[in-house]
Chain A
Amino acid sequence: RKEVEQDPGPFNVPEGATVAFNCTYSNSASQSFFWYRQDCRKEPKLLMSVYSSGNEDGRFTAQLNRASQYISLLIRDSKLSDSATYLCVVNMASGGSYIPTFGRGTSLIVHP
């Protein structure tokens, strides 16, 4: 079983749509959860941290469900510029430290 799993997509949505991605993780002792976006041939950029109570940043909402071991990202009113790969990151407990573990990413394409 992969440690951090994401649906690779692509999710192909029209501008203005609402789209949601999920990410599941295998290690229940994980702490610190994040969403990053990566544009083609660029570095990953932090989109938002994910807090236990859920958090929102403009059109983006992130949720954490520890019981079911998944995090989610909701994007409202999609823009063309939202087209990118969205990477889920989980810090997994391992031998006294936490290993940042990336999912393989979910590709989003927003079309006019």
Chain B
Amino acid sequence: DTAVSQTPKYLVTQMGNDKSIKCEQNLGHDTMYWYKQDSKKFLKIMFSYNNKELIINETVPNRFSPKSPDKAHLNLHINSLELGDSAVYFCASSPRRTYEQYFGPGTRLTVT
């Protein structure tokens, strides 16, 4: 029973392509997040949704577009991929009351 799942786990693609990463949580949490962890291991929040509503959008290029079809899913679509987008992308969820986050296994994106 995976609590927070992401697909795909690995994604290798060329510059200029468009790709999507999917995230699902079965914990019944209200809030979901996307993070980027770069090569220096710094984990930075990109977006957060609460009950399908965008509540955090942190200085992310508009090539990145999150979509939350329901509160259990938060997908990330990336247009016109660039070399600098290569990183590990983590999805997480938390209950609104405690903010304790549970992370998915990550998607390792490599742009060539």
Residue ranges of A at the interface with B (Cβ–Cβ < 8 Å): 32, 34, 36, 42-46, 49, 85, 87, 89, 91, 97-102, 104-105
**B58 CB contacts on chain A under 8 angstroms:** 99
Q: Which of B14-22, B37-45, B62-70, B74-82 contacts A (4 or more CB under 8 A)?
A: B37-45
- Pick from B41, B42, B103: contact of A45, CB below 8 A: B103
A32 to B31 Cα, complex, angstroms? 15
A87 to B45 Cα, complex, angstroms? 14
Residue ranges of B at the interface with A (Cβ–Cβ < 8 Å): 33, 40-45, 48, 55-56, 58, 90, 98-106
Assess the B102–A100 pair: CB atoms within 8 A: no
- Pick from A49, A101, A105: contact of B100, CB below 8 A: A49
24 A-B pairs (CB sep. < 8 Å) = A32-B98, A34-B99, A34-B100, A36-B101, A43-B103, A43-B104, A43-B105, A43-B106, A44-B90, A44-B101, A45-B103, A46-B100, A46-B101, A49-B100, A87-B43, A89-B101, A91-B99, A99-B56, A99-B58, A100-B48, A100-B101, A101-B45, A102-B44, A104-B42
Of all chain A residues, the one with the shortest Cβ separation from B98 is: A49
Of all chain B residues, the one with the shortest Cβ separation from A96 is: B55
Q: Other CB < 8 Å A-B pairs besides A44-B43, A99-B58, 12 of them?
A: A36-B101, A43-B103, A43-B104, A43-B106, A45-B103, A46-B101, A49-B98, A49-B100, A100-B101, A102-B42, A104-B40, A105-B41
